[in-house]
Structure 1
Amino acid sequence: MATNNKKNTKNKKPKFNPYWIYGGIIAIFLGMQLFSGGGFQDASSTTPSQFMEFLKNGDVAKVEIVNRREAKVYLTPQAQEKEVHKNSKPSTLLASSSQSPNYKFEFGDLQNFEDDMAEVVNNYKLDPKPKIEYKTEQNLWGDFIIGLLPFIILIAVWIFIMRRMSSGGAGGAGGQIFNIGKSKAKLFDQNTDVKVSFKDVAGLEGAKEEVQEIVDFLKNPEKYTALGGKIPKGALLVGAPGTGKTLLAKAVAGEAKVPFFSLSGSDFVEMFVGVGASRVRDLFKQAKEKSPSIIFIDEIDAIGRARGKSNFSGSNDERENTLNQLLTEMDGFGTNTNVIVLAATNRADVLDKALMRAGRFDRQIFVDLPDVRERKEIFEVHLRPLKKAKDLDTDFLSKQTPGFSGADIANVCNEAALIAARNGKKAVDKQDFLDAVDRIIGGLEKKNKIITPAEKKAIAFHEAGHATVSWMLEHAAPLVKVTIVPRGRSLGAAWYLPEERLIVRPEQMLDEMCAALGGRAAEKVIFNKISTGALSDLEKVTKQARAMVTIYGLSDKVGNLTYYDSSGQNEYGFTKPYSEQTAELIDKEISDIIEEQYQRAIDLLSKNKDKLTQLAEVLLEKEVIFKDNLEKIFGKRPFENENVNENKESESKVSVVKDTSEEE
């Protein structure tokens, strides 16, 4: 206990503060100023007229004129004993050898004052005459301090501003004034708490294997260099948003026992000229000092775009200088082979060719959307922190979310937990996940939206038309459910579980287009009128038809031509890659394809008008119908391949046919 008390007393001692020195210096200056001249001398104040009365009475022994504007009056010893002068005796705090004045006052013009004194002396024949002395006083310390005061204020303000700027470091406001050219990369090393590892990265087996090999390069370089091989200088992660590119990089930071520098491509760009290139140099300098090391640049397309494209104003010179410096650091004279660069982007088509070549980014790792098996693994990762129901089937969830990325699945799990909590449940069950998928794809339900009975009937027949046509067509996607409950901007929606095809044939695309036009066709068949409710259907169909004609070369009239540029670097500029006659042919072909499928949908619905009406009535009654309701009305679907499709591992995203009306 005694030792603890001693430690506490030691800790309670005041710490030394440099401001104490500044305060001491100021106190010394003030003391020298106050006590200069022998101490405090408090002479009584008087006026020139009263002084003249003292002079007439012969009380004045000496007058000391200071700086030609102030007079100090010294009385005779006899006058000091008079009653009227009792309060004029000066008080001194410090011992002083010189006599102190009894009175002091200020006068105007010195010549007039001297004349008045001479007149009084002559008229009253004073003997002895008062002595008149002239004296000049200077406050050296006061004048010195006043002269230095402006400089002191300027220096203090400068020090304050500089400390505020430098104290912000890399992230503070204004903290980059002196560190503007320094790299803003965040350093992760083996002592940093990075909890993400390769175990947390579900799916992405191929990409994960490639990245793991890069980590192994740095851990055991001799294993590869012993055979004469060279360690790759860089790897580029390419994939759609949300597929896990940054997550892979986090796993590398957690697994690699080497320094890991992480930053975004936009961190190089600043409003000052030359900053980007300077930061690139500083980044690689730090990485080389800590080699072997890894640099991760997220969203590298911010600085890696192709040079010289649409650069009319010269505004991109700074970005191009940054890219040039990056190219030099990655593969130029004096580069260090023990620094590996990882980069991520979803716009690989806009990157500069010099950046993509071997020797800089030796490997391109494609991070694709997960298939059904990988989606199950991702679900298992994101379901760990949730209190889920015991009978929850992850296989079912993975099949209901085709085409979802890892970020989408994480969002589904979080949304399902929120829905379960909103409903007061103690565990997240299957229905919560289905509602979450509907919420993410279709939007929030708007049950309080005001819809007239006529509009509701039109919506019901529109959605029933989609369901009927898709049920009758062989290559249309299998139906999941149909609803007329408004979601988001859509007044109704039909959910499909389409098969993902690596290659798509014309008949498959035509069937999908016909099913999409089934809504408008149903309105035409039942009401002999059409509405604005088919906006999203028409948008989808028009894009598909244009792709058939101009991209995939599936039109007999246009021929085996494509006007698609996969590199993203259009060589045609502002001109079309085809003539006006071809443009007219393309427009007519697109229109013919769409109108043919529209007429095909009308013919199908006209033959099954009674079943269409029956399905619409069930939809009006229940508002939501499923596959079972269609089987009761239409019987089993006449095509057998849909059962095979359910077992396939590759599926595309749940397709939702939204029917939006133009809201005022």
Structure 2
Amino acid sequence: MATEKKPNNFKISPWWIYAGLIIIFFGLNYIGGSGFQDTAKISSSKFNEYLDKGQIEKVVIFNKTEGEAYLTAAALKDKAHSKLAQDMLGNPNKGPHYSFEIGNDEVFQNKIEKAKLEGKIKDYDFKPKSNWSEIFISLLPIIIIIGLWVLIMRRMSGGGAGGGGGQIFNIGKSRAKLFDEKTDLKTTFKDVAGLEGAKEEIQEIVEFLRNPDKYTTLGGKIPKGALLVGPPGTGKTLLAKAVAGEAKVPFFSLSGSDFVEMFVGVGASRVRDLFKQAKDKAPAIIFIDEIDAVGRARGKNNFSGSNDERENTLNQLLTEMDGFGTNTHVIVLAATNRADVLDKALLRAGRFDRQIYVDLPDVRERKEIFEVHLKPLKKVEDLDIDFLAKQTPGFSGADIANVCNEAALIAARNNKTAVDKQDFLDAVDRIVGGLEKKNKIVTPEEKRAIAIHEAGHATVSWMLEHAAPLVKVTIVPRGQSLGAAWYLPEERLIVRPEQMLDEMCATMGGRAAEKVIFNKISTGALSDLEKVTKQARAMVTIYGLNDKLGNITYYDSSGQSEYNFSKPYSEETALVIDKEISNLIETEYQRAIQILQDNKEKLQQLADILIEKEVIFKDDLEAIFGKRPFDTHTEETAVETVTE
């Protein structure tokens, strides 16, 4: 049985090359110099003295300016030269023992020749000498410039990162990470809660690659790509991780920004290299996260007047996905929350054959997501997960994960041994409303004004049939708000005009209460005004719910209208729109004032309780106003929006 040959992972580091050059330099300097021998510097007069005494055995002259003298064996035994008898390693010093400078080379040469004739020295020689240290110093600026250039290029091309983009010569290589199911963290479809429709389509894509014959025998073709679209935090990237964990095929993962580089043509080169790798390992899956970084519609808002590098990258991506040379058994997954800005050529059939919309989870899906994120927490046994799911309308999967983590932190802060229901309520308050500001200084007059404002919201919403059921009211400052009214809105698929008008009336209840009680208004209703203005404008210009304008909308689902400098309606229509928006808001404001005037005593009573307790709940409102006749919610549930 043949043994499997292990791949050679040995790589040469650039720093080894630099260290080798330094060692070579010092080696040449040693060879050209005196090595480990000890050489003392003496003057010309001293040399003449030793020469006259017959203690010099040999003289070597370099470049007619410098000389080195070798002592005789007898001279080395002399006390005056005892320090030179051995070198630095303790071995006998073979010389040269002394070095000296030569003044007039002709006079010195005559002196040496005479000493040779008289037998005072045995030999002398003239040699050229190369000073390697001086050569290195002269070349040092050039070496530094080359080193800096190499360093800058390495940083530009990826900072020495692994994979294709680490070196300057590999700058055009793909940066995609090949998922290894044996070593990488494995996420499966069991870890993805909710998203049943999206999971079904994604699982089918994995099945295409596992068993393609099942579909191709009937004449069908395997889809080229699937685009995951949806709001942030809904689990698009998590679905892709599950595909990587479930698929038994190579999975290449990268971000859209990985194609972007300051060098011209690099993005297109990386796209080519990515698909080349995928085709070599086919069947394979490519996942491009945040594809809008390179897939933005071409020719939109391009004032540069030149060919854009991003467009070159997109053109290459279009060609690779479904160009002249087709890629067999390579499926491209992509994710974005900005599908409206993507190029239409990218979205056509044959490239992204399927667009899978990943929406915010409903109450049933939120329960499944809570069950996933509650597994690692130490929680109380009787924790009601259905209650938590109803607490969090409009929350994405990432928001629910944040709620669970925040609840655990709050429980630990309070020295609890398990996370309970109140910790989750506090976590939702913290995430939606912001951090509680206990040190904010509020005067008694301001506190009463805030209490009247919030009590106005509570009173009006309690009296209206279609307003969102109120759960609690607080005047504890959180984030940038001084007070808040917390509601649990119905999760409606369609909204009728009377429902929107009741919500607008409840939102204006805060300012209306200030008008009824103080006959003055304040700046505290900014967020209320912003909310009702958006609602009124949507009724008039988007949903066609205004009798004056009729069944018409100015909404552009493609998102391209924001690039236009002109409105899709005339100036006369703009005046009508502004007037109708103002009429809607003022009508609901006067309606709220009338409701509060009819319940003025109860409003003040509610405000007094709010000042005393700072937080009041549904039970407190029932004690004052009685049972809400059209309240269909039997469970006490909380929290959706901060109105102040």
- TM-score, structure 1 as length reference: 0.81
Q: Aligned equivalents of 2:38 and 2:467: distance in 1?
A: 107
Pair 1:358 & 2:358 matched? no
1:253-264 matches, within 5 Å, as 253-264=244-255
Q: What is the CA distance between 1:278 and its match in structure 2?
A: 0.8
User: Over the residues paired in the alignment, what is the CA RMSD in angstroms?
Assistant: 4.5
Cα distance, 1:316–1:470 mapped onto 2, change above 3 Å: farther
Q: What is the CA distance between 1:177 and its match in structure 2?
A: 1.7
Aligned match for 1:480, one of 471, 489, 511: 471
Pair 1:139 & 2:128 matched? yes
Q: Aligned equivalents of 2:63 and 2:308: distance in 1?
A: 69
Is the contact made by 2:474 and 2:616 (CA closer than 8 Å) also made in structure 1? yes
Q: What is the CA distance between 1:547 and its match in structure 2?
A: 0.9
The aligned residue for residue 8 of structure 2 is none
Cα distance, 1:381–1:446 mapped onto 2, change above 3 Å: same
Cα distance, 1:453–1:229 mapped onto 2, change above 3 Å: same
Q: What is the CA distance between 1:171 and its match in structure 2?
A: 5.0
Is the contact made by 1:44 and 1:102 (CA closer than 8 Å) also made in structure 2? no
In terms of mean alpha carbon deviation, does 489-498 or 163-172 score higher? 163-172
The aligned residue for residue 337 of structure 1 is 328
The aligned residue for residue 326 of structure 1 is 317
Amino acid at match of 1:229: G
The aligned residue for residue 287 of structure 2 is 296
String of CA shifts for 1:584-633, please: whole Å, max 9, x gaps. Answer: 11111111111110000001111111111111111112111111111111
The aligned residue for residue 210 of structure 1 is 201
Q: Aligned equivalents of 1:631 and 1:103: distance in 2?
A: 109
The aligned residue for residue 176 of structure 2 is 185
String of CA shifts for 1:390-419, please: whole Å, max 9, x gaps. Answer: 110101111111111100110111111111
Cα distance, 1:49–1:547 mapped onto 2, change above 3 Å: closer
The aligned residue for residue 308 of structure 2 is 317
Q: Aligned equivalents of 1:101 and 1:319: distance in 2?
A: 68
Q: Aligned equivalents of 1:331 and 1:73: distance in 2?
A: 82
Is the contact made by 1:237 and 1:344 (CA closer than 8 Å) also made in structure 2? yes
Is the contact made by 1:189 and 1:258 (CA closer than 8 Å) also made in structure 2? no
String of CA shifts for 1:472-497, please: whole Å, max 9, x gaps. Answer: 11110111111111111111100111
1:53-452 matches, within 5 Å, as 108=103, 137-139=126-128, 142=130, 165=154, 169-171=160-162, 175-314=166-305, 317-452=308-443
Is the contact made by 2:469 and 2:487 (CA closer than 8 Å) also made in structure 1? yes
Q: Aligned equivalents of 2:79 and 2:408: distance in 1?
A: 95
Is the contact made by 1:107 and 1:113 (CA closer than 8 Å) also made in structure 2? yes
Aligned match for 1:586, one of 577, 584, 597: 577
Q: Aligned equivalents of 2:290 and 2:59: distance in 1?
A: 88
Amino acid at match of 1:478: P
Q: What is the CA distance between 1:640 and its match in structure 2?
A: 5.0
Amino acid at match of 1:596: T
Pair 1:656 & 2:638 matched? no
Amino acid at match of 1:138: K
Q: Aligned equivalents of 2:572 and 2:96: distance in 1?
A: 115
Q: What is the CA distance between 1:655 and its match in structure 2?
A: 3.2
Provide the secondary structure at the position in 2 that maps to 1:435.
helix
Q: Aligned equivalents of 1:65 and 1:625: distance in 2?
A: 103
Cα distance, 1:104–1:476 mapped onto 2, change above 3 Å: closer
Q: Aligned equivalents of 1:527 and 1:111: distance in 2?
A: 115
Is the contact made by 1:468 and 1:605 (CA closer than 8 Å) also made in structure 2? yes
Provide the secondary structure at the position in 2 that maps to 1:591.
helix
Q: Aligned equivalents of 2:617 and 2:169: distance in 1?
A: 65
Flag structure 2 segments of 5+ consecutive residues without an equivalent. 1-15, 87-94
- TM-score, structure 2 as length reference: 0.83
Cα distance, 1:110–1:48 mapped onto 2, change above 3 Å: farther
Amino acid at match of 2:340: D
Identity of aligned residues (%): 72
Aligned match for 1:619, one of 610, 619, 624: 610
Q: What is the CA distance between 1:433 and its match in structure 2?
A: 0.7
Cα distance, 1:466–1:320 mapped onto 2, change above 3 Å: same
Cα distance, 1:108–1:622 mapped onto 2, change above 3 Å: closer
Aligned match for 2:45, one of 44, 47, 52: 47
Cα distance, 1:600–1:179 mapped onto 2, change above 3 Å: same
- How many residues are paired up? 611
Q: Aligned equivalents of 1:196 and 1:276: distance in 2?
A: 30
Flag structure 1 segments of 5+ consecutive residues without an equivalent. 1-16, 75-80, 94-99, 122-127, 660-664
Q: What is the CA distance between 1:176 and its match in structure 2?
A: 3.9
Q: Aligned equivalents of 1:102 and 1:401: distance in 2?
A: 90
